[in-house]
Structure formats: C-alpha cells, structure tokens
Amino acid sequence: MQASFTCVGGGRVKIIFMSVLKVGIVGFGHLGQYLYTQIVGSTTHEVAFVWNRTADKIVEFGVPQNLILADLDGVKNVGNVDIIVEVAHPDITRTYGELFLSVADYFVGSPTIFADAEVDTKLRYCPFPPSFIDTQKTCIDR
C-alpha cells in the first residue's frame, strides 16, 4: 500500500505503508517458543496461530486460546496468514507443505525433508501460479 503527495515546492513524496506480517508457528519446542516470544513483542509482526502436536504445551506457556490451532488442516480457515514457519519435524512438510503453500508463504525449519526427491519436486512448483505448474506435478491452487 502506498500514497503519493505533492509538496509545496512541487516535488513528490511517496509514503509506503507497511502492514504487519502475520506469522503462523508450527511447532512449540524451544525454537517455537522463542519465535512466539519475539513476535509477540514486535510492532512489525503478529502471531496468526500456533500449533503443536501436544496442545497442552502451548496452553501452559500462556498462548491465548484464539491463537491455538487444534488441527493443521484448519490452517485454511485461519484467514490472513502471510508466512507459516515450521519448527517441528520434517514429516510436517511432507504432509502439509502443499496446504501451507496454498494459503501463505512457507519457511521450512526442517530442510532435510528436501532430500526426498518427491517432496522436493512437489513443493518446488507450488509457489507459481497454476498455469506454470507442469501437469505431472501437483499443488493446491493458491
């Protein structure tokens, strides 16, 4: 979003408004907790949701109930998410990578999953518009 104004001297000034980056956190071990703490204290980022295999850990940490995602399939119903950060396990990317990319940008914190050629190929083509996706590849339309 940007606006442009004419100054008294005739010059132009462009002001760019930056929106807050909404982050989903998948995994709530030490790294997930650290990310959550840093984002909550930020003026440029906001927590969109937090998920962990064991939700009790999130509740005990004091995360508000409205930010706790009970099931990763529910990510499609969260709404405005700019980026999903996975800090859980490579299998999360194998199972949910396409879904995550269908709703947001995706930061894979367990990159060893890309040693699996099938996962690598499947996700490599997801960020592109459907017209660029080879018909042999699969990806949920963004």
Are the C-beta atoms of 98 and 126 separated by less than 8 Å? yes
Interatomic CA distance for residues 19 and 28, integer angstroms: 25
pTM: 0.77
Q: What is the pLDDT along the chain (142 residues), one digit of tens a residue?
A: 444 455 555 555 555 556 899 999 999 999 999 999 999 999 999 999 999 999 999 999 999 999 999 999 999 999 889 999 999 999 999 999 999 988 888 999 999 999 999 999 888 876 544 433 344 444 544 4
Backbone angles phi and psi of 4, in degrees to 5: -130, 135
Sign of CA dihedral 51, 67, 60, 34: positive
